[in-house]
Structure 1
């Protein structure tokens, strides 16, 4: 069997990453142009701040495209980041910043303004669409600059994490939006941030279709045998000790699909009705019997 050269694998992966980023950026830009920007909904970040500036300048008779302002702000942030941390952000960040800015302005003339009479629908659709787009970008190990650069710089110089700093940065943008558009639209924008975040997680991690089960029983060997031969799933025995009783027990660890969960509970109950079980969601299972372990 021929083996693919590492260089070929890297090129293929790089092509796939940039393809995912490009598709994600186009989806994000369309969501901004169709739902968020025309409805004055600020979903945090540089795009949100650019939306506020766009309408502020428009009130003064000036029209500066949102994408142009996004690019200008991101370039300033990139220069600041490079001065502190060097060129660690790399080509993907620069590509993401430029591509999203160009896409927002490039798609704007051809994108209808949707849900213009219902801000709640605009929030729901806008949050979902931009979340899908940004999820694809992050899945490709890319980003579009903006608040994540600010968050990383602030986190390096404080006792707070990057996630906390991103939340603080987005909250600051939401406050600016409240001053410009009023509290109602600002609140809608905050809801869009939450929806977008949840959808990003969903795109990156997928639906939880696998379950992990921990089983403690006096009949662990029989339960493990049933899992292996009746469910066709693997099982691992882990040494454990009850802290109250001091008794040593073997705990079974196994991963099953959601549709196999009822069968697992039934066979455990059939062997030992008094068995103790913990069942939890897992985001992803890779390897034999599940999804192929590919990056």
Structure 2
């Protein structure tokens, strides 16, 4: 049973939409900075479309911003029927933002004495950037679209699937950047995938609460006010007493837990509460499986 009115749901949708756009643009900026300042400035490669972008830049001096928008536009068409339209819309924001920021940061190169520093910190920033973008329910197209599809249908972690597709592009890049820089690129890709997997594991964690109380309706209303999401009432029956019971079921974020428990105690200090760890959720108003 949802306790949210249609106008409230619309307000929450718009709030979430602009929050996601903000997260995606932050991630797009970090991503572009890492590519221009740490990777390309030190003649390192990348995987997926970004890898093709660096190869075309080293080989033919093609603008990375142009390569990004064209190649990812094609891949967006591939993902159009396989991913939900909301993810596609947010991905358009991410791809457009990355192209704009790539243009903006084109002269921000940080030439390092030790390229491995660029590989390590570049990988870390790339993973953080992708975490922001995916937490905002978007992708950067390229290998992330393919990884999202693999994640959706095979359950393989997004970061791991991305690493696989990225290596397909990164390994042959030694023809342009040399064996040593190609190996450093693989290190960068591994760091990026590891950071991304850790971030998505943190972002995906939720708590599932099952609450039994005679004041279930008031408790459900209080929880909905805190979480700004729907709450479900499940009918049940006590085995010993034989009395009918109503259970309140909800998914909440870790940071909301203290407020929810305080609200439950304020309504009914004798309420029975079961709390479970949830690593991923899928559905309306929730994060996708990560």
Fold-level similarity (TM above 0.5): yes
What TM-score does the superposition give when structure 1 sets the normalisation length? 0.61
Q: Which has the larger radius of gyration?
A: 1
Aligned length: 209
What are the superposed Cα offsets for residues 50-70 of structure 1, whole Å, 9 maximum, x if unpaired?
10111111xxxxx32111111
What TM-score does the superposition give when structure 2 sets the normalisation length? 0.62
Q: Unpaired segments of 5 or more residues in structure 2?
A: 204-252, 262-277, 279-284
Does 2:43 correspond to 1:40? yes
Which residue, out of 44, 65, 68, partners 1:67? Answer: 65
Which residue, out of 117, 138, 153, partners 1:121? Answer: 117
Which residue, out of 107, 128, 134, partners 1:132? Answer: 128
Deviation at 1:199, TM superposition (A): 2.1
CA distance, structure 1, for counterparts of residue 134 and residue 78 of structure 2 = 22
- After the TM superposition, which residues 220-235 of structure 1 pair with which residues of structure 2 at under 5 Å, given as runs? none
CA distance, structure 2, for counterparts of residue 203 and residue 291 of structure 1 = 25
Which residue, out of 106, 109, 115, partners 1:108? Answer: 106
- Say which SS state the counterpart of residue 20 (structure 1) adopts: helix
Change (3 A) 1:289 1:184: same
CA distance, structure 2, for counterparts of residue 123 and residue 67 of structure 1 = 21
Which residue, out of 22, 34, 45, partners 1:19? Answer: 22
Equivalent position of 2:171 in the other structure: 175
Give yes or no for contact 2:76–2:88 (8 Å, CA) kept in 1: no
Give yes or no for contact 1:25–1:100 (8 Å, CA) kept in 2: yes
- Say which SS state the counterpart of residue 138 (structure 1) adopts: helix
CA distance, structure 2, for counterparts of residue 69 and residue 202 of structure 1 = 29
Root-mean-square deviation (Å):
3.4
CA distance, structure 1, for counterparts of residue 88 and residue 163 of structure 2 = 24
Deviation at 1:161, TM superposition (A): 4.9
Q: Unpaired segments of 5 or more residues in structure 1?
A: 58-62, 208-283
- Say which SS state the counterpart of residue 29 (structure 2) adopts: helix
